[in-house]
Amino acid sequence: MSMLTNTLGRYFAGRFVVAALGVFASIFLLLVLVDYIEMVRKTSGLASASALMVAETSLFRVPQLLEKLTPFCMLIGAMTCYLALSRRLELVVARAAGISAWQFISPALGSALLIGVIATVAYNPMSANLRELSKRMEAELFGSAPGGGIQDASGFWLNQVTSDGQTIINAARSEQQGVRLTGLTLFRFDTEQHFKERVEAREATLEAGHWLFKGVRRFSLDSPPVDQATLEIPTTLTEAQVRNSFSTPETVSFWQLPSYIRSSESSGFATAGYRLQYHKLLAQPFLLAAMVMLAASVSLRFFRMGGVQKMVLSGVGAGFLLYVLSKVTEDLSKAELMHPIAAAWLPVVVGGLTGFLALLYQEDG
């Protein structure tokens, strides 16, 4: 019996992993296609934008988008796996051999936990690095000319005050969590708050005690525009302060989050977003296991008994409600109305208990 259980366990685990990876790959290809079409639309007027570079930029942007959909990939993959097993009557044979539902769900739970650990410690840093690479390629595509694309009022804003006066910085794109900026517009004021000049620059890098701008064009009220190769503007900002303004927790890899939390605390900045992201990544393996539990609770019904469509819709609805709950707790945590640990682990507990109780009612109730 032990040999039979181990053999079936490996079989069920393999079927689940194949189904989950298939869903993951399908959504990945769909996102790449949609993002590529959108990037082609944006770069249609740029002569320097090659099709290969646009495709690479889209390819590097997608992994971080897909990371947010990983729980749904697990949910749909598990539902697909168990529905296929049920349709082929393999679950009937397993039950007839004396194997309970808990025994053929356990391999999928273990696989989901392993996939979650890999997603946290390996996939998350890779997606963060690829996102930084895509930002650099976007800067090459849209910011190749001085002042290119910097008239847009969106992007990132930064205000600094020094002994020379006030400088308001608008950057279209940010790299390295704000240490390097591209597509810039600066509004400079003197110590009396009188407008001094407007500066456009291709890129800027934060160095010790100053910003170094390249590809500069300066506009003032009483003289024609002046082009400069470089321009240095003093600053009292540190890397930690710039990161707090320009970076988002999702763009920081799992291994870098503890140092970001410590640097933000020492600089006096709010760390709720970073703490929430850190605990969400820690809870990710258990969230994927909870998704498998939810999927199993709605996918083990035999096809001949009917009502499969309603069960599948209820599983999708439960996953959507769990997503809404996670967004609500995330917003409450970022507003410092809920502790990050509670916000990260509440969806895991709710989803896991819901699936467990539903399975308990179906199998042993």
Q: Over the stretch 124-140, which tens digit does the pLDDT of each residue have?
A: 999 988 888 887 787 77
Is the four-CA dihedral 123, 124, 126, 127 of positive or negative sign? positive
The predicted model gives 229-234 an average pLDDT of 88
* Helix locations, the chain, DSSP H: 2-42, 51-68, 70-87, 90-96, 101-118, 124-142, 239-246, 257-267, 272-299, 308-334, 340-364
Across the strands, what pairs with 184? 171, 201
Ranges of each domain in the chain: 3-145+272-364, 156-246
- State the architecture of 156-246 in CATH terms: Sandwich (2.60)
Residue range 312-361, pLDDT digits in tens: 788 788 888 888 898 899 888 888 888 899 999 999 999 889 888 888 87
What pLDDT, on the 0 to 100 scale, is given for residue 41? Answer: 85
Secondary structure of residue 345 in the 3-state scheme: helix
Give the pLDDT of residue 12: 84
At residue 306 the predicted structure's pLDDT band, cuts being 50, 70 and 90, is: low
For the segment 140-168, what is each residue's pLDDT rounded down to a tens digit? 776 543 333 333 445 677 888 888 888 88
**Beta strands 210-220; 223-234: pairing state:** antiparallel
Q: Label residue 362 by pLDDT band (50, 70, 90).
A: confident
- The model's pTM is 0.77
CA distance 170 to 153: 8
Pair of tokens at residue 19: 């189904």
| pLDDT given for residue 150 in this prediction | 35
Give me the pLDDT at residue 145, please.
Answer: 38
